[in-house]
Copies of this chain bind each other. A is one copy, B any other.
Amino acid sequence: MNLDAIPQGVVAGSIPLFAGHPARELLPINGLKPVIQAAWRAGGVARFLNYGDEQGNPQLIDFLVERLNHRENLGISRDNLMIIGGSTGGVDMATKRLTAPGDVVLADAPSYRDALHIFRDQGLEIRAAPIDEAGIVLADLKRALRQLAAKGKAPRFYYVVPNFQNPSGITMSRERRLAVIELSRQYGFVILEDDVYSDLRYEGAAPPSFYDLAGGERVLRLGTFSKTLAPGLRIGWLIASAERIASFVESGMLRMGGGANPFSAAIVADFCRSGAWEAHARWLRGQYERRRDLALAALQSSMPADVEWTRPAGGYFIWLRLPASIHVDDLEARAQERGLYFASGRGFFVDPDEGARHLRLSFSYVPLPDLQAGIQTLGALIAGMASGG
Residues of A within 8 A of B (CB): 1-4, 21-22, 24, 27, 29, 32-33, 36, 40, 45-54, 85-86, 88-89, 91-92, 96-97, 100-101, 113-123, 226, 230-234, 251-253, 255-259, 261-264, 266
Contact = CB atoms under 8 A, between A and B. Distances in A.
A230 B114 CA distance: 30
B100 A100 contact: yes
A233 to B, nearest CB: 5
Given A4-B46, A114-B252, A118-B252, A52 B258 contact: no
B255 A1 contact: yes
A344 to B, nearest CB: 15
Contacts of A4: 46-47, 50
Q: Copies per complex?
A: 2
B252 A1 contact: no
Nearest to A265: B232
15 contacts: A3-B51, A4-B47, A22-B50, A24-B50, A85-B261, A88-B257, A91-B256, A115-B256, A117-B251, A118-B251, A230-B263, A232-B258, A232-B263, A232-B266, A234-B263
A155 to B, nearest CB: 18
- Most chain B beta-carbon neighbours within 10 Å: one of A24, A53, A117, A234: A234
Contact of A252 (B40, B50, B86, B115): B115
A270 to B, nearest CB: 14
A46 B3 CA distance: 12
A361 B271 CA distance: 38
Pairs of residues from A and B, 8 with the lowest C-beta to C-beta distance, nearest first: A117-B252, A118-B252, A114-B256, A88-B257, A232-B262, A49-B230, A232-B263, A49-B232
Nearest to A119: B252
Given A1-B258, A116-B252, A27 B49 contact: yes
Nearest to A46: B24
A116 B255 CA distance: 11
Contacts of A256: 86, 88, 91, 114-115, 117-118
Nearest to A48: B232
Contact of A3 (B27, B50, B262): B50
- Most chain B beta-carbon neighbours within 10 Å: one of A3, A32, A257: A257
Contact of A49 (B89, B120, B231): B231
A230 B264 CA distance: 13
Given A255-B117, A263-B264, A231 B51 contact: yes
